[in-house]
Structure 1
């Protein structure tokens, strides 16, 4: 929130505040006061006509027409409501000060009329925004002071000083009033968001909630749930922030940078997924930042803490499927002298099942020649014509069992009769591997979503397009632990 003009820096929040909390109240106040002034001026027009006061009749009728036109215009064009409130305040006040016909009006009635007009003026100021009220108060009070100086026979300096002080006092009160309204709305908005978030969290879900104190750059722990395998107390949670890393950067510093970027862009919310290294383990965590009075950070730990028990039914089913595949291979070999394509198809399925089971136990890191690795995959898919363009001979350290699964899935979802495989270096000297051809993108994307964490581990970046699959490899990955 801007500290001087009192508006939210996020345009969406400002618009939501104006529409949901202010517009309806402001419009009803404007309509009621406009209608009240119209009734008052109708009475004035009738009274001046009855008293045959031509000058008063013309002035009151002119003001009445103006008020009716303004009311109709603003009612049909709500976007000019704030301007309509300012003009209503100025026009009525200036009319009563400079053009009101006071002939035949005694001091008591004049005082009562002045009090009514001042009450309506201040009600309009409170209804409007702070900046609108500040402009209205300053201009009208200066007009009153100048009018009093030029129209009075003698000057009362105490009245001038009091009027000047009133400008400051009323503006200060109006500032505090609008600041309190906006702060309350901001807190309500933050509380509502957190209520929605926490309702969606299962009791078994593991999460950590922090608040960031900007004055002393300090984190305070607000809530911990189901994080016993990482930390149990607030002190251990602070230690986690200082020891855990993301891309060789301490998580505490990562969060500092996120908050800095978050406030720089005037965001209201931030969400992202990180792979966190902690005590030779990898943790997939979703980090969210929400802006209330102070930035609030939610660590939502995914998958890592869910204990996975062996499902006997699943194991038995996979075992039976494996036996069926082996039987099919033996039958093919016994019945046909040449059935290479069928044999390779079954062989690939067996390899795939073996690899999926293997990565659930451990991740195998090995330094490989990428081109040789691709050539071995091509041998398993002789039904597809493959053209290769190896523009470099890259050596990478990677998880071979996960990479084998990815390559097998790409080949299994080829729709064209031939593809092109290219390896080269990018401008940043990164290792790039491209597959060009027709692919079943729907299945590849489903596979990518299911194996999201392995994709994040294997590739520095990747792009899956209609006819091109691009993967950029890091030089090596450091995973001295098991994901599952």
Structure 2
């Protein structure tokens, strides 16, 4: 919020930020120019005075040079004083050149007056409204007093004109300072939004802004974007080399520039607009958003698939699993038709894919109702060479647990059993499930299976392995039944 009289921010932190901004962007550059120009004038005047043997002028010039050195010290070490130093320079000029010089030619005097007033206005332009108000009132009061002293018989219209011009100047400076501070406040808001955007963005994207002053794009941030963009130059290269849509007659830079200009006149935002780009012989659909402000923010992102942990496998996962399965089955079928023999290597690929797929899903720890016969039907696809039979004795409530973990356990057992004949007996009673898996195992196979099953200790109550049977006790997670029903 602004104080409507002094045009200062009520928030002291924001006011300090504005003063720092003014110092860095306006006052320091102005003082630097003043030092440079006055140094040239001083050196020229010093040389002229030496040539003309004007010792009085030399002393004055050396004094100006010392003052210039003082300005350099302030510029380097005390930049916060620059605001007051510039005001002081204005008043020094006022008093130094206020003495009338009858020896001066009329036009030279007019030129000197115009230069001084112009310089004073330049300095006031970098100050605050309260500074400008004090200077305008004091300067014109000073000039008016001089007018009264040296030309008392002036017209009343001169006094009225002076008053009106002073009033007009004050109003003009008030409006300019108010507009500048409002713009600065909007810039702070834009920066905050930009900071928020940078912190919440997680998708692959590139973010940049548009500078109205030089009509160019400025790189802000890139998050795992499909092309390497880390600098403004890389951003410009990407925008200029990317062609938009099928006609390829316009590049992405011109396309976004036109969109920014259209939105500027309509004062609208643009969200997630899809566009197809062609870059380095690659075709890619991207989504761009334009957020209007003092410097519009443009976001170009590439959408990714999002996987969520639900009671059921997501549709996307189901599609991919189905595609993998159908692809491998089709390859197996075609090759068997051609060669009329088995391809164990391709079956192994199918097995590896399913094994790793289940491992990836373990982190979700989904509790579901387990249907043993359905699991066995799926495992028959993985182990077509084995004849698997199932016997289920349902003596209690349905089995609830981690289906993926059970699949992996059965795969571990089936992988280790040496015989092709496997019989699975499931006994579900009193909150626990016993799996009795009959098949042939030797000592080496038993040791290997024991070590593999150590990875599933969290869901296995007991493990008993003999030469002809693997007996596993699995906890029936009844405590999760209410959760499953609610879901």
TM category, shorter: 0.3 to 0.5
Q: TM-score, normalised by structure 2?
A: 0.41
Task: Name the larger-Rg structure.
Answer: 2
Name which structure has the greater RCO, CA cutoff 8 Å, separation 6+.
Answer: 1
TM-score (norm 1): 0.41
